[in-house]
Structure 1
Amino acid sequence: MNYTRISNIKDPLFTQMHQLMQDIFPPEEVLEFDLWKEPLEDPGIRVFVAVHDGKVVGATEYRYYEDFNVAMTDFTIIGKAGLGVGPFLANKRQQDLNELAKANGQELSGMFAEIYDPYKVKNHEFGGIKPMDPFVRREVLAHLGYKRIDFTYVHPSWNNDGEEVTGLDLCFLPMDGRTEIQAELVKVFLERYYTVLPNKPQSWIKMINELAGKDKLQLVAF
């Protein structure tokens, strides 16, 4: 299995990856094909696919924020069970992020991720791929050390229509074993992360304003 970076919308592997995203994720979670041009060309956004026998069987997108010294896992897709795609992507991503942090003179302090709450979201089949089942993914993240950030989370729809997306938790993987996170870090991270979507729902704006009035947020087990 090869870990291959995609940086051009014309890459045939991207066509396979985008189709895989459509097969796995609900429509409001998938950015339109043509809108991927700039993100793929952005050196700070790292999109890699797992390629097995010439076919994309998994993918991950993530980014490293030098000034925050944290990473964000945008998504992880396992397109086929039984190949060890999940561990392969997780290990390769971690190696890459460690190298990026080292080049920044740091040790990575942690990584954000969004995860569906399976007790709230019951109607997503995620392409019928069992490793993508929210219950399974949540257990995997828990074993990796991720914790749920203890606040009510919403995010703007990637359709950029001003609608909110609920049923997810924002999580954080602390590399130093901490049990809390600065609310200001969460706030400024989310503001930067969703800059690309100008149409924010009022519930998101309210959430951001509430974070501004808090000091620390607890990191709790799933």
Structure 2
Amino acid sequence: MLKYNRISSIEDHYFPAFHQLLQSIFPPEEVLEYELWREPIQDPDIYVYVAIHDQEVVGATEYRYYRDMRVAMTDFTIIGQAGLGIGRFLLRNREKHLQEIMTQSGTTSLGMFAEVYDPYRAEVHTFGGVSPMNPIVRREVLSHVGYKKLDLAYVHPSWDHEGAAISELDLCFLPQDEQQQEISTALIVQFLTTYYTALPNKPEQWHHMIKQLAETETIALLPL
């Protein structure tokens, strides 16, 4: 049986295994250094949960909900082993928790953002050798869930604080209204500038993208 367990400190018993799982799955530029997790993981509005099976960390997810913008963000979902139902377990527990947060805040979410690798641009396809984490599989799963791709050339700052421009991913959005075909660029800009406040060293390409977004009113949501 899987257990949904929150981690809110790097001193947590499960944190070393969680961080090792991150390193085994994602490229180095996508993983925040061990010690740099100390402050953000204590943020009460950042939710890091791990899936525990037989006292081992076999999966993880990080997410947040911005009450003022009424949008959520899935930072990542990690499946460390196939055949345990980890993906659905994390999805359902995250959905349940987010609904509780919305109820407590008296808000209704407009939707949820997520970043996903484009398998045709990503150089690394193995992602720790775990089949469910293959970019092609992950992208199709998000499509099945209902995510749509924002119609823009997306770039984000590397999480290693080197300020590199990462352009192998697409920014996606899971609208509450399945019929929604576009999204406000003002919302996108507000979300991205808030979300990436944690990374002060941003590449020029990121600033250029934000500037271009500010010059339009809406961006189309395309099939993923």
Which TM-score tier does this pair reach, normalised by the shorter chain?
Answer: over 0.9
User: What is the distance in 1 between the residues matched to 2:107 and 2:124?
Assistant: 41
TM-score (norm. length: structure 2): 0.98
User: What is the distance in 1 between the residues matched to 2:71 and 2:95?
Assistant: 12
Note if contact 1:154-1:164 (Cα within 8 Å) is conserved in structure 2. Answer: yes
1:212 match: 214
Note if contact 2:119-2:125 (Cα within 8 Å) is conserved in structure 1. Answer: no
1:37 match: 38
CA offset digits 1:18-55 (Å, max 9, x no partner): 00000000000000000001111100100000000000
- Three-state SS of the structure 2 residue aligned to 1:10 is coil
2:174 match: 173
CA offset digits 1:31-83 (Å, max 9, x no partner): 00000011111001000000000000000000000001110000100000000
Q: Does 1:113 find its partner at 2:114?
A: yes
- Three-state SS of the structure 2 residue aligned to 1:204 is helix
CA offset digits 1:133-179 (Å, max 9, x no partner): 01101110000000001101000011111211111000000011211
Q: Write out aligned runs for 1:36-185 (5 A).
A: 36-177=37-178, 178-185=180-187
RMSD, aligned α-carbons: 0.7
- Three-state SS of the structure 2 residue aligned to 1:71 is strand
Q: Which runs of 5+ in 1 are unaligned?
A: none
1:188 alignment partner, one of 169, 175, 190: 190
> Once the 2 structures are TM-superposed, how far is the Cα of residue 125 of structure 1 from its aligned partner?
1.4
Q: Percent identity?
A: 56
Residue 162 of structure 1 aligns with an amino acid whose one-letter code is G
How many equivalent pairs are there? 222
- Three-state SS of the structure 1 residue aligned to 2:144 is helix
More moved, 69-78 vs 114-123: 114-123
Q: Which runs of 5+ in 2 are unaligned?
A: none
User: What is the distance in 2 between the residues matched to 1:113 and 1:50?
Assistant: 20
User: What is the distance in 2 between the residues matched to 1:124 and 1:89?
Assistant: 22
User: What is the distance in 2 between the residues matched to 1:200 and 1:25?
Assistant: 20
Note if contact 1:149-1:217 (Cα within 8 Å) is conserved in structure 2. Answer: yes
2:12 match: 11
TM-score (norm. length: structure 1): 0.98
